[in-house]
């Protein structure tokens, strides 16, 4: 990995050692300097093999836009931009300048690389891929030379293939395209970015090979403004997490080569996987197939998909077994979450369990009716109530709290901060960043305390129900949402008869 650095260090150590022993090291220093000059000369001529970017050879590309699910808006926007290249003669008659760069932005695992490969197939272009980290080293000029080699290689490969288009895909471009001036100790980052800017400026529509640069990043806010101006990355295409329909489309793509049992309902699976990316859904389908294989089943059933959701979210089941006291506390905690969730939104609970998995001793899962992009104050307050219900249930039944609620508190604090930014605190509209730390802390405490009191009152009024369902959960270790509601109705019926 760092052979050149190690070699330089050993060489310097050898020279110092020989000098200390009384040897004349001047010839060695002269030879070293000559070797360095020779290496630099070969590097500048592009003759050093190590300067050719690893993995950027033209890939066999059979990906099409039909193979990408859940990104209909991104695909349409990308196609519109690519049509300028695909039908350049018509665009040229109208005076359209060819696009030089398209930036794909969005969370990890949403299919940015697949979109770039599909773009190459759509335009019948040579596809060459590289990662931003491959351009940066400690030696000044190496990254810039690699950029030059990349563009030269794209033109050569296109000509060898008899094509007049080439797409260069740079993943993780924020590594080399970050804002200049941040790394004062070394100018390699700035030189590499400057060379990329020069190469993109040099792209012309009348070349024998038309080059389009497609880049992907999760953090577009870190990129240098010079990259984002018109004439370089002309278009930014947002590749977001898929909605329910998109998740269903992705699941169908990833299960088309898998035998599915008659009870499989992919729409129900899509509904249960809010927040999953395309990569998560691919892993989900694969995990379900693994579970079916482990059981010796001939087809993948719905239970395999439900189990796979938990594996993807939390990890595999753990072999460790908590003590009886810990299990009882976990059962009370998860039942508290479930009770309050069912109270604020009936029918929302899908699963609760005390089976250790990943880093959690137990968990409960909610069902979401539909993907939401806006939240009302009432919805956020209900979400806070559900998050705080676990630790409040522990206090109501066991008289004390535990460290198991740390993650709930972190999530609750983030929700409360969102409410402050949205003007849902007693201050109304106020810039969260400009608020004094003491005022901000006081507002967070008020919002959280209000919901804590609300939940505490509800769980104290339903303490017997809480204990009863927690006992059933502890005995069964896992309850489905339907079984949970059956127990809830049973307890409510028993309470009604006693009152009469």
Q: Closest Cα partner for 203 from 98, 124, 121, 122?
A: 98
DSSP string of 56-88, one letter each residue: -SPPP----GGG--S-HHHHHHHHHHHHHHHTH
Predicted local distance difference test score (pLDDT) of residue 422:
86
Whether residue 260 is found in the same domain as residue 300: yes
> For this structure, is 5 an active site residue?
no
The helices-and-strands tally (H runs, E runs) of the chain is: 18, 8
80 and 222 co-located in one domain:
yes
Q: DSSP 3-state assignment of 255? A: helix
For the stretch 373-424, pLDDT in tens is: 688 899 999 999 999 999 999 999 999 988 888 888 999 999 999 898 888 8
Per-residue pLDDT band at 5 (split at 50, 70, 90): low
CA–CA dist 145, 106 (Å, integer):
29
Residue 316 pLDDT exceeds 70: no
Query: Which one has a higher pLDDT value, 461 or 494?
Result: 461
Q: Do 224 and 288 have their domain in common?
A: no
Cα radius of gyration rounded to whole Å, the chain: 30
The residue from 238, 258, 286 where one domain ends is 238
Q: In what order do the strands lie in the sheet with 363-366?
A: 363-366, 349-353, 478-480
Query: Collapsing DSSP states into helix, strand and coil, what is residue 230?
Result: coil
Mean pLDDT of 323-335: 90
One domain, residues 389 and 428 = yes
In this prediction, residues 79-89 reach a mean pLDDT of 80
364 and 494 housed in the same domain: yes
The answer to whether residue 53 is domain-embedded is no
- The one catalytic residue among 58, 334, 452, 491: 334
Last residue of a domain, one of 193, 214, 238: 238
| Same domain, yes or no: 443 and 484 | yes
DSSP for residue 155: H
Which pairing describes strands 363-366 and 478-480: parallel, antiparallel, or unpaired?
A: unpaired
Give the tokens for residue 111: 């299919």
Q: What integer is the mean pLDDT of 221-248?
A: 87
CA distance 343 to 383: 12
The residue-averaged pLDDT of 226-231 equals 84
| CATH number where 294 lies | 1.10.8.60
Each residue's pLDDT tens digit, 419-475: 988 888 888 877 666 778 888 889 999 999 999 999 999 999 999 999 999 999 999
Look at residue 478 and give its three-state secondary structure. strand
* 58 has a pLDDT exceeding 50: no
pLDDT score, position 412: 92
At residue 342, φ and ψ (nearest 5 deg) are -70, -30
Residue 354 falls inside a structural domain: yes
pLDDT of residue 454: 94
pLDDT of amino acid 362: 81
Cα–Cα distance measured from residue 160 to residue 157, given in angstroms and rounded to the nearest whole number: 5
The residue length of the chain stands at 500
Per-residue pLDDT, 47: 37
**pLDDT value of position 48:** 36
**Quick check: is 243 in a domain?**
no
Across 290-296, average pLDDT: 92
Q: Which residue has the tokens 């836009």?
A: 65
Domain presence at residue 81: yes
- Of 238, 263, 286, the last residue of a domain is 238
Query: Where do the H-state alpha helices sit in 376-480?
Result: 377-398, 406-421, 437-461, 463-476
* Residue at 452 is within a domain: yes
Pair (421, 489) in one structural domain: yes
| 200-219: b (≥16 Cβ within 10 Å) or e | beebeeeeebbbbbbbbbee
Contact 114, 75 (CB under 8 A): no
Task: Express each pLDDT in 98-114 by its tens digit.
Answer: 788 899 998 888 888 88
Q: At 449, which CATH number?
A: 1.20.58.760
Say if residues 136 and 178 touch (Cβ distance below 8 Å).
no
Phi/psi zone of residue 315: left (φ > 0), alpha (ψ -120 to 50 degrees), beta?
left
Assign 300 a pLDDT band (cuts: 50, 70, 90).
Answer: very high
Contact of 223 with 173, CB cutoff 8 Å: yes
Q: How many domains does the chain have?
A: 4
- Whether residue 91 lies inside any domain: the answer is yes
Give the lowest-confidence range in 129-133, 291-295, 449-453. 129-133
Q: Which two tokens stand for residue 214?
A: 């497609």
Which pLDDT value is given to residue 44? Answer: 46
What is residue 136's predicted lDDT score, i.e. its pLDDT? 61
Does any domain span residue 278?
yes
The distance in angstroms from the start CA to the end CA of the chain is 78
Report residue 165's pLDDT band, with 50, 70 and 90 as the boundaries: confident
Q: In the predicted model, what is the mean pLDDT of residues 289-304? A: 92
Q: In which band, very low, low, confident or very high, does the pLDDT at 4 lie, cut at 50, 70 and 90?
A: low
212 & 72 share domain: yes
pLDDT at 331 over 70: yes
- Among 24-28, 133-137, 183-187, the range with the most confident prediction by mean pLDDT is 24-28
Residue 33 sits in which domain range? 3-45
Cα–Cα distance between 443 and 455 in angstroms, integer? Answer: 19
pLDDT band (50, 70, 90) for residue 262: very high
Q: What is the mean pLDDT of the chain?
A: 81
Task: Determine the Cα angle at 72 with ends 71 and 78, to 5°.
Answer: 90
What mean pLDDT comes out for the span 142-159?
84
CB atoms near residue 444 (< 10 Å): 17
Backbone φ and ψ of 235, nearest 5°:
-125, 140
| Residue 389 resides in a domain | yes
For residue 261, what are its two tokens? 């049992």
Distance of CA 427 to the CA centre of its chain: 34
More confident residue, 47 or 475: 475
**Whether 299 contacts 325, CB under 8 Å:** no
CA 355 to chain centre: 27
Instruction: Give the pLDDT confidence score for residue 126 in this predicted structure.
Output: 86
Contact of 386 with 341, CB cutoff 8 Å: yes
């Amino acid at each position: 990995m760092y052979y050149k650095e190690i070699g330089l260090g050993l060489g310097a150590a050898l020279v110092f050692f020989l000098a200390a022993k009384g040897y004349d090291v001047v010839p060695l220093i002269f030879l070293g300097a000559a070797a360095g000059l020779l290496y630099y000369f070969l590097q500048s001529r592009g003759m050093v093999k190590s300067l050719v970017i690893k993995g950027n050879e033209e890939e066999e590309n059979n990906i099409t836009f039909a193979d990408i699910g859940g990104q209909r808006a991104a695909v349409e926007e990308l196609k519109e931009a690519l049509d300028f290249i695909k039908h350049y003669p018509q665009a040229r008659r109208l005076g359209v300048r060819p696009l030089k760069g398209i930036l794909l932005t969005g969370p990890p695992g949403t299919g940015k690389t697949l979109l770039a490969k599909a773009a190459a197939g759509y335009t019948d272009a040579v596809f060459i891929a590289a990662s931003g980290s491959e351009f940066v080293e400690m030696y000044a000029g190496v990254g810039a030379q690699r950029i030059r080699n990349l563009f030269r290689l794209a033109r050569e490969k296109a000509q060898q293939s008899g094509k007049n288009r080439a797409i260069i895909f740079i993943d993780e471009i924020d590594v080399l395209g970050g804002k200049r001036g941040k790394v004062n100790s070394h100018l390699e980052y700035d030189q590499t970015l400057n060379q990329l800017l020069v190469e993109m400026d040099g792209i012309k529509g009348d070349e024998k090979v038309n080059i389009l640069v497609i880049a992907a990043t999760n953090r577009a806010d870190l990129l240098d403004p010079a990259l984002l101006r018109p004439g370089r990355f002309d278009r930014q295409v947002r590749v977001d997490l898929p909605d329910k329909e998109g998740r269903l489309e992705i699941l169908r793509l990833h299960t088309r080569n898998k035998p599915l049992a008659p009870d499989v309902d992919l729409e129900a699976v899509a509904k249960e996987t809010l927040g999953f990316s395309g990569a998560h859904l691919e892993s989900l389908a694969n995990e379900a197939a693994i579970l079916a294989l482990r059981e010796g089943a001939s087809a993948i059933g719905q239970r395999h998909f439900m189990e796979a959701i938990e594996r993807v979210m939390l990890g595999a089941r753990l072999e460790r077994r908590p003590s009886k006291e810990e299990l009882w506390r976990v059962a009370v905690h998860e039942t508290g979450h479930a009770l309050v969730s069912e109270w604020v939104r009936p029918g929302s609970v899908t699963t609760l369990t005390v089976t250790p998995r990943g880093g959690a001793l137990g968990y409960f899962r909610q069902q979401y009716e539909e993907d939401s992009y806006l939240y009302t104050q009432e919805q956020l307050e209900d979400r806070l109530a559900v998050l705080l219900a676990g630790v409040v249930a522990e206090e109501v039944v066991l008289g004390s709290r535990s460290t198991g609620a740390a993650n709930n508190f972190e999530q609750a604090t983030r929700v409360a901060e969102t409410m402050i930014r949205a003007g849902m605190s007693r201050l109304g509209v106020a810039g969260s960043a400009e608020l004094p730390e003491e005022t901000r802390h006081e507002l967070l405490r008020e919002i959280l305390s209000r919901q804590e009191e609300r939940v505490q009152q509800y769980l104290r009024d339903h303490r017997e129900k809480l204990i009863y369902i927690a006992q059933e959960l502890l005995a069964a270790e896992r309850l489905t949402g339907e079984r949970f509601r059956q127990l809830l109705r049973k307890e409510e019926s028993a309470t009604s008869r006693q009152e009469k």
